[in-house]
Amino acid sequence: MSRFHCCATCKHFKAVKLEKGMLYYCERLRYETKPNYQFTCWDPTEQVQRLIEKENIKKD
């Protein structure tokens, strides 16, 4: 599992600012979540994918 694996780094994660505070949800699942939650359906953003690849190259 990647150290980057969390909802906030997934391309389906959305954050909406409301009067009462922030609402975090998965656009794909249509389910409320938290930035630090982890699910097996995680699909990292392109930026996170590049960071993971860069980190993996350094390990080699």
Q: What ranges do the domains of the chain cover?
A: 7-59
In this structure, are residues 41 and 29 in contact, taking their beta carbons and an 8 Å threshold? yes
In this structure, are residues 2 and 52 in contact, taking their beta carbons and an 8 Å threshold? yes
Reported pTM: 0.82
Q: Which residue in 24, 21, 43 sits closest to 35, CA to CA?
A: 24
Give 7-46 pLDDT, tens digit per residue: 999 999 999 999 999 999 999 999 999 999 999 999 999 9
Q: Residue 1: its pLDDT value, please?
A: 64
In this structure, are residues 9 and 57 in contact, taking their beta carbons and an 8 Å threshold? no
